[in-house]
Structure 1
Amino acid sequence: MMEAAAKRPPALQRVARALTEDRQERLDREACRVLPLEEQLRRCLAQMRQNQMCFDLETEPELIDALIYEYQAIQSRYRYYQRKARAQGLRAIL
């Protein structure tokens, strides 16, 4: 793949780099976008489910440890969003 990129004319390389940078900027803007609290809670729940599925399938001790730490981080984020939701008077977000 790198060989194909090296064979491109310089003008094409600049265009490809500009498109890649533009795409990365859009992804960065989307990542920084503030999502509604309900969506944040739903994402945390989905991440916890996915983490649990990976944990159930994993056999390497180091990766199991990493999944445990990741789950704890997701739980902390979920508790934070729950506190914010309660403060705003939101109930029963699943």
Structure 2
Amino acid sequence: MVQAAQKPQTLLSSRIPRDTEHERYHPELEEELKECLFCLRRNEMMFDLETDTDLIEQRIYERQALLARYRYLLSRARELGLHTVLQKYQPLG
């Protein structure tokens, strides 16, 4: 006797949409967001301390690159539907 493939049993009703965010969760994406925000804060602090015009310019370009990375990571989190991560790492103001 051949058994038909069984659906995994769940306690949730099939009529109630499941919150599958935890199934899509990417901890490495959250770590990258944390690191990017840390680098942005460090960049801001170092910018405030610079006195050489070339180094000030370097900090400005570095900030632009970090902001581009931050925007990319946020858009990636949006694509994956990671609302918890998006709420935790609100866009910079």
Pick the TM interval, shorter chain. Answer: 0.5 to 0.7
TM-score by length of 1: 0.61
CA contact (8 A) 1:44 1:78 kept: yes
Say whether residues 1:71 and 2:63 are aligned partners: yes
State the number of aligned residues: 60
Letter aligned with residue 88 of structure 2: I
CA contact (8 A) 1:48 1:71 kept: yes
TM-score by length of 2: 0.61
Q: 1:84 aligns with which of 76, 85, 88?
A: 76
Matched residues, percent identical?
48
CA contact (8 A) 1:51 1:67 kept: yes
Equivalence map 1:39-54=2 (5 Å): 39-54=31-46
Which residue does the alignment assign to 2:50? Answer: 58
RMSD over equivalenced CA pairs, Å: 1.2
Letter aligned with residue 93 of structure 1: K
Which residue does the alignment assign to 1:27? Answer: none
For residue 36 of structure 1, report the CA deviation from its aligned partner.
Answer: 0.7
- The structure in which a higher percent of residues are helix is 1
Unaligned ranges ≥5, structure 2: 1-26
Unaligned ranges ≥5, structure 1: 1-34
Q: Larger Cα Rg: Structure 1 or Structure 2?
A: 2
